[in-house]
């Protein structure tokens, strides 16, 4: 088989695997096999740039090319929907439609997904453009970012789709991805996203599609537009679209009577809490496109649809006191303790207060009557104070100055909202938090162990740090109350199995401040063993892509602490993977070993980040700025004049892309 034939074959196969996994939720190959096929495709495509295809499955991994979005005018304006919170207005809508149409009609009842809307244009079965709603008339062209969303087909299946059509839908960040992202951001002390909607729209506007690819967005498509749609029914068209490879909501139902509509609303108002994505209401649409045309539009919204929004849930209750939680990183979070109050089906006793600034801006006093809300957010929050109800002489809430757990004085770093306890190695919640992070699913994934067990082991003095886990004996555990022999054995087996966890995840599991999952991967790629990492200096570290001084400083500080070095040594003796596996290196060479290479300008044959990857793949290092140590400059068109001057000054050789590709070409 020629390379070109193989590329075609891989593209076709990967499209199908994508669809099985992301739309049908039924993968037929393992993630590992998938990655392998993808890597093979990327490698072949790199060898045959002339065979570039904008809809190849490889575009799904994104690119870090920076570009501002161009604005595109919508073919059909993207209007908003009439909104209501009351069932009485739903009845009015129904009656209005009934009267205008003066014939039988069906309503399609759908979830109102709470993300960010998107318009996709397909031509000849290929995705050609993805545009945000913008101001309704024109939006941003975010095609490259949208291509990284795996549940959006790049190439359609089957047949019968119109030559040209538009499909609209909602781009969403599933709850679990959102929570994980916020955990990561918390670890890196970055501002948290308030809800999945903000996270989805923020991500979609990212200038770096590789970031988008990492964030695992999802999408539901909910409306087809075009001249030659297969059916007159909106619902029926979507069923057809599902056959072409689109992810549609299987919750949608057609209703003929108001009673059916209310049954749908009442059922999903409760049941939506079990959905993997955020929803904020129900959308009702007249199903027949002919009837939709008859009803038409007002200036702002269609007359044939309405959104019924679920109540934004809010309650008024008394603030009893403020307590403080110390997290794994030592960050201190204030928590409002409330007089228990019923809110959206649960009793709320506590609400997050985020940080000292928020407390100050609310001007909180103990005993205040406060408004608590549970919107799209996971943890209820205090959104306001009923100042008129403030008891005379009540005490203003002021942030604590010392750690409630260990008594150390708290510090606040420059540019940061949070206060920290810096007593890392002796503050109990920090110790326990580190162990909990270490065993968590994304880190060492130790089955049978959870936060309560960690707490118990810590209380009983069985473990004081992560290395102690590996010297635990079944007998030690059995001695504890509530622990049977069977569960003790499970725990020990789980710990044993964690020794197979790859190096990059061990790095993440260590819980070095600012080293989240993504950073750990980058670090593991650049420093193939923990010794290499421990002996790296600031300069070595900041030369790694995406690692700035903040992260580098934290890594250096970690290994400068003798307690941590001892810990790592004990982990090594226990047999954990503290270096990268050999097989990770397959397809790699060391043709560029020891070389520092600066990339500059615009290229014809590969993108900048493909060149970056090629440099790393062949053992070189891609660095940002020219210095005496630079081995050569990989220059495309329009290399910056200051770089050119500096290169000439320092006598650094300049190679164009053909020379570079020749250098790394296999003989």
Give catalytic residue positions.
Answer: 112
Beta strands in 206-359 (DSSP E): 218-225, 253-255, 279-286, 305-309, 313-326, 331-343, 346-352
Q: How far is the CB of 444 from Zn ion (least distance, A)?
A: 25
Q: Which of residues 188-207 bind ligand AMP (CB under 6 A)?
A: none
Nearer to Zn ion, 24 or 411 (CB): 411
Residue 457 binding: pick among Zn ion, ligand AMP, none (C-beta 5-8 Å cut-off by kind)? none
Pairing between β-strand 419-421 and β-strand 596-600 as defined by DSSP bridges: unpaired
* H-type alpha helices, 102-174: 143-146
93 interacts with ligand AMP by CB under 6 A: no
CB burial string 329-350: b at 16+ within 10 A, e below: bbbbbbbbebeebebbeeebeb
306 interacts with ligand AMP by CB under 6 A: no
CA angle 29–33–34, rounded 5-degree value: 80
Q: Across the strands, what pairs with 218? A: 172
How many residues touch ligand AMP (CB under 6 A)?
A: 12
CA–CA separation, 515 vs 264, rounded Å? Answer: 45
* Cα-only R_g, the chain: 28
- Other beta carbons within 10 angstroms of residue 351's beta carbon come to 24
Which whole-number Å values give the CA distances from 572 to 46, 159, 531, 567, 577, in the listed order? 38, 57, 11, 9, 7
Which whole-number Å values give the CA distances from 357 to 285, 318, 381, 393, in the listed order? 44, 21, 14, 22
Q: How far is the CB of 80 from ligand AMP (least distance, A)?
A: 3
Q: Which of residues 117-146 bind ligand AMP (CB under 6 A)?
A: 117, 133
x/- map, 435-474, ligand AMP, by CB under 6 A? ----------------------------------------
**Has 33 been labeled as part of a binding site?**
yes
List, in order, residues 6 or more apart from 54 with CB less than 8 Å away.
Answer: none
Nearer to Zn ion, 11 or 328 (CB): 328
Residue 150 binding: pick among ligand AMP, Zn ion, none (C-beta 5-8 Å cut-off by kind)? none
Residue 112 binding: pick among ligand AMP, Zn ion, none (C-beta 5-8 Å cut-off by kind)? ligand AMP
CA–CA separation, 44 vs 41, rounded Å? Answer: 5
Exposed/middle/buried for 443, CB within 10 Å: 0-12, 13-18, 19+? buried
Q: How far is the CB of 197 from ligand AMP (least distance, A)?
A: 10
Tell me which residue has tokens 């008024």. Answer: 316
Q: Which stretch binds Zn ion (CB under 5 A): 74-82, 88-96, 297-305, 398-406?
A: 398-406
CA–CA separation, 354 vs 352, rounded Å? Answer: 6
Which of 45, 141, 166, 170 touches ligand AMP (CB under 6 A)?
170
CA–CA separation, 284 vs 254, rounded Å? Answer: 9
Q: How far is the CB of 147 from ligand AMP (least distance, A)?
A: 20
Which of 222, 458, 503, 514 touches ligand AMP (CB under 6 A)?
222
Which of 187, 217, 242, 427 touches Zn ion (CB under 5 A)?
427
CA–CA separation, 478 vs 455, rounded Å? Answer: 16
Enter the DSSP assignment of 484.
-
Residue 405 binding: pick among ligand AMP, Zn ion, none (C-beta 5-8 Å cut-off by kind)? Zn ion
421 interacts with Zn ion by CB under 5 A: yes
Residue 307 binding: pick among Zn ion, ligand AMP, none (C-beta 5-8 Å cut-off by kind)? ligand AMP
246 interacts with ligand AMP by CB under 6 A: no
Which of 24, 70, 73, 83 touches ligand AMP (CB under 6 A)?
83
CA–CA separation, 362 vs 154, rounded Å? Answer: 48
CA–CA separation, 307 vs 301, rounded Å? Answer: 11
As given in the structure block, the two tokens for residue 373 are 């809300």
Residue 83 binding: pick among Zn ion, ligand AMP, none (C-beta 5-8 Å cut-off by kind)? ligand AMP
Residue 452 near residue 483 (C-beta atoms within 8 A) = no
CA–CA separation, 319 vs 337, rounded Å? Answer: 6
Residue 358 binding: pick among ligand AMP, Zn ion, none (C-beta 5-8 Å cut-off by kind)? none
Q: How far is the CB of 170 from ligand AMP (least distance, A)?
A: 5
Residue 222 binding: pick among ligand AMP, Zn ion, none (C-beta 5-8 Å cut-off by kind)? ligand AMP
Q: How far is the CB of 110 from ligand AMP (least distance, A)?
A: 4
573 interacts with ligand AMP by CB under 6 A: no
Q: How far is the CB of 343 from ligand AMP (least distance, A)?
A: 22
Enter the DSSP assignment of 134.
T
311 interacts with ligand AMP by CB under 6 A: no
**Has 34 been labeled as part of a binding site?**
yes
Q: Which stretch binds ligand AMP (CB under 6 A): 110-118, 150-158, 332-340, 462-470?
A: 110-118
- Closest by CA to 351, choosing from 313, 406, 305, 298, is 313
406 interacts with Zn ion by CB under 5 A: yes
**Has 110 been labeled as part of a binding site?**
yes
Residue 431 binding: pick among Zn ion, ligand AMP, none (C-beta 5-8 Å cut-off by kind)? none
**Has 634 been labeled as part of a binding site?**
no
**Has 539 been labeled as part of a binding site?**
no
x/- map, 612-641, Zn ion, by CB under 5 A? ------------------------------
Nearer to Zn ion, 56 or 423 (CB): 423
Residue 193 near residue 215 (C-beta atoms within 8 A) = no
317 interacts with ligand AMP by CB under 6 A: no
As given in the structure block, the two tokens for residue 423 are 């007593």
Residue 137 near residue 73 (C-beta atoms within 8 A) = yes
Residue 113 binding: pick among Zn ion, ligand AMP, none (C-beta 5-8 Å cut-off by kind)? ligand AMP
- Closest by CA to 127, choosing from 108, 150, 110, is 150
Which of 119, 423, 498, 622 touches Zn ion (CB under 5 A)?
423
Half-sphere exposure of 87 (CA within 13 A, CB side): 10
Beta strands in 164-206 (DSSP E): 164-172
Residue 513 near residue 329 (C-beta atoms within 8 A) = yes
CA–CA separation, 432 vs 466, rounded Å? Answer: 9
Nearer to Zn ion, 332 or 635 (CB): 332
Which of 113, 264, 611, 660 touches ligand AMP (CB under 6 A)?
113
Q: How far is the CB of 406 from Zn ion (least distance, A)?
A: 3
Numbers of helices and strands, H then E, in the chain: 24, 22
As given in the structure block, the two tokens for residue 44 are 């072949």
Which residues contribute to the site for ligand AMP (CB under 6 A)? Answer: 80-81, 83, 110, 112-113, 117, 133, 170, 222, 283, 307
Residues annotated within a binding site for NAD(+): 31-35, 80-81, 110, 133, 170, 285, 309
Give the annotated binding-site residues for Zn(2+): 403, 406, 421, 427
Residue ranges for the binding site?
31-35, 80-81, 110, 133, 170, 285, 309, 403, 406, 421, 427
Binding residues for Zn ion, rule: CB under 5 A, are: 403, 405-406, 408, 421, 423, 427
């Amino acid at each position: 088989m020629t390379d070109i034939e193989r590329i075609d074959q891989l593209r076709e196969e990967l499209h199908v695997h994508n669809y099985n996994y992301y739309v049908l939720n039924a993968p037929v190959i393992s993630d590992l096999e998938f990655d392998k096929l993808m890597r093979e495709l990327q490698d072949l495509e790199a060898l045959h740039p002339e065979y570039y295809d904008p809809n190849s499955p490889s575009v799904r991994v994104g690119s870090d090319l920076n570009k501002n979005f161009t604005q595109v005018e919508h073919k059909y304006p993207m209007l908003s929907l009439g909104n209501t919170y009351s069932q009485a207005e739903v009845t009015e809508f129904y009656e209005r439609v009934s009267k205008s149409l003066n014939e039988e009609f069906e309503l399609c009842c759908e979830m109102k997904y709470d993300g960010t809307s998107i318009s996709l244009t397909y031509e000849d079965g290929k995705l050609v453009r993805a545009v945000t709603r913008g101001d309704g008339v024109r939006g941003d062209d975010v095609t490259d970012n949208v291509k990284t969303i795996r549940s959006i087909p790049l190439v359609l299946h089957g047949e019968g789709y119109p030559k040209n059509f538009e499909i609209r839908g909602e781009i969403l960040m599933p709850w679990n991805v959102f929570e994980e992202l916020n955990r990561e951001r918390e670890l890196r002390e970055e501002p948290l996203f308030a809800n999945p909607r903000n996270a989805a729209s923020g991500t979609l506007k990212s200038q770096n599609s590789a970031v988008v690819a990492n964030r695992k967005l999802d999408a539901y498509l909910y409306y087809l537009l075009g001249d030659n749609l297969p059916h007159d029914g909106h619902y029926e068209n979507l069923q057809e679209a599902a056959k072409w490879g689109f992810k549609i909501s299987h919750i949608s139902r057609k209703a003929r009577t108001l009673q059916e509509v209310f049954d749908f609303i009442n059922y999903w108002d409760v049941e939506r809490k079990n959905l993997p994505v955020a929803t904020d209401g129900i959308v009702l649409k007249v199903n027949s496109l002919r009837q939709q045309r008859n009803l038409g539009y007002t200036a702002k919204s269609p007359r044939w649809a309405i959104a019924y929004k679920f109540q934004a849930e809010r309650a008024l209750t008394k603030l009893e006191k403020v307590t403080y939680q110390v997290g794994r990183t030592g960050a201190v979070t204030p928590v409002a303790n409330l007089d228990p109050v019923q809110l959206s089906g649960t009793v709320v006793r506590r609400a997050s207060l985020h940080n000292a600034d928020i407390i100050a801006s609310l001007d909180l006093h103990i005993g205040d009557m406060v408004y608590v809300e549970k919107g799209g957010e996971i943890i209820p929050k205090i959104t306001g104070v009923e100042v008129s109800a403030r008891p005379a002489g009540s005490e203003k809430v002021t942030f604590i100055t010392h750690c409630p757990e260990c008594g150390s004085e708290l510090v606040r770093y420059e540019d940061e909202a949070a206060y920290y306890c810096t007593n890392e190695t002796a503050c109990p919640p920090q110790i326990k938090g580190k162990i909990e992070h270490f065993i968590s699913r994304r880190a060492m994934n130790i089955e049978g162990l959870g936060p309560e067990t960690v707490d118990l082991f810590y209380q009983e003095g069985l473990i004081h740090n992560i290395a102690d886990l590996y010297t635990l004996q079944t007998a030690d555990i059995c001695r504890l109350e509530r622990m049977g022999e069977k569960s003790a054995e499970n725990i020990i087996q789980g710990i044993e199995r964690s020794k197979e966890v790859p190096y990059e995840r061990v790095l993440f599991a260590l819980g070095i401040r600012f080293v989240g999952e993504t950073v750990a991967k980058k670090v593991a790629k650049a420093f193939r063993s923990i010794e290499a990492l421990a002996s790296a200096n600031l300069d070595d570290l900041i030369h790694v892509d995406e690692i700035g001084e903040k992260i580098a400083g934290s890594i250096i500080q970690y290994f400068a602490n003798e307690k941590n070095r001892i810990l790592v040594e004990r982990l090594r003796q226990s047999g954990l993977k503290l270096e990268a596996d050999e097989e990770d290196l397959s397809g790699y060479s060391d043709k560029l070993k020891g070389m520092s290479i600066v990339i500059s300008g615009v290229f014809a044959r590969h993108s900048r980040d493909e060149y970056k990857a090629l440099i790393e793949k062949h053992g070189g290092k891609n660095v940002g700025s020219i210095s005496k140590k630079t081995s050569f400059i990989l220059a495309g068109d329009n290399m910056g004049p200051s770089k050119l001057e500096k290169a000439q000054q320092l006598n650094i050789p300049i190679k164009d892309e053909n020379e570079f590709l020749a250098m790394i070409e296999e003989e």
